Amino acid sequence: MRVRCLRGWLPMREAIELQTVFGKIRGWRRAGSSPSSPRLLAFHGWLDNADSFVPLEPFLRDYELVAIDQIGHGRSDHLPLSSDYTALTFTRCGIEVADALGWQKFNLLGHSLGSVVASLVAAAIPSRVESLIAIEALGALTNAPELTAEVFREAIDIAYKPRRPLRAFATLDDAIRVRAAVNHLSEPVARLLVERGINEVDDGFVWSSDPRLTHPTAFRLTEAQAMDLIEGIECPTRVILADPPQSYFPDAIRRRRVAALRNGSLRMINGTHHVHMEEPEAVAKLFD
């Protein structure tokens, strides 16, 4: 059996399932990696999944690569209703994954939300993280202090509203077309994400990610707190940003954050938010 990818046939990837205190985390490991290869743990973006890194995989052969579905995403478990999806939860879960793999030292790769998580893991356990590659984000999302009460009330209000039924798509292709349009993705890239991120039900197909991932977070850090955590990242860090920037991560803020790194460098590339999937070879060349 072989796995079809955007760039042709790839060696089979091995499915993995890791038991953590947050539930089962699933993903894949490149088959046949040398035990002496540097270890690379990859975190995908919001509402994406481990297959976000399939296009990059052929260009990362020097690593023992593991890509996971973050908690609540893809094929991994959802959090119980008594728990919330927060930056701390994602960070702790990321560390749990490294522990479950038996990795004492490792490198980190993240995209979007995954870069937020990877940044926080690097800040939390600097002695274990050897390097960080952050694509399209660095550090946590923040709120202005004066918005704290407003955002908190909104989060509590939504948490206690009845859960709406999941939207069902008649066909897989319908879901792919919607995902491509919403995120400005090419059809092959959208297909990669959808095929791992959807469940078949009696009346069609529904997203497998936890709907609560779309709810507002009750508390976020201030920008000053986020900057302090970035300054706490000790490992060599390469930040890769697509141009034009995303609306939630303006260019002035993202450049200021990169400048706060102790040992950081910035590479810019023309492209969309999912540039690592649309132009994987060009992005991989920016890793060095």
Q: Taking the alpha carbons of 193, 188, 250, 216 in that order, is the dihedral positive or negative?
A: negative
Residues listed for the chain: 288
Please report where in the chains the tokens 């119980």 appear, as a residue.
80
Contact 73, 49 (CB under 8 A): yes
- State the catalytic residue, choosing from 112, 115, 119, 208: 112
SS3 annotation, the chain: CCEEECCEEECCEEEEEEEECCEEEEEEEECCCCCCCCEEEEECCCCCCHHHHCCCHHHCCCCEEEEECCCCCCCCCCCCCCCCCCHHHHHHHHHHHHHHHCCCCEEEEEECHHHHHHHHHHHHCCCCEEEEEEECCCCCCECCHHHHHHHHHHHHHHHCCCCCCCCCECCHHHHHHHHHHHHCCCHHHHHHHHHHCEEEECCEEEECCCHHHHCCCCCCECHHHHHHHHHCCCCCEEEEEEECCCCCCCHHHHHHHHHCCCCEEEEEEECCCCHHHHCHHHHHCCCC
Rounded Cα gap, residues 8 and 238, in angstroms: 28
Q: Is-catalytic flag, 265?
A: no
Q: Which of 266, 197, 222, 261 is nearest to 87 (CA)?
A: 222
Active site residues: 112
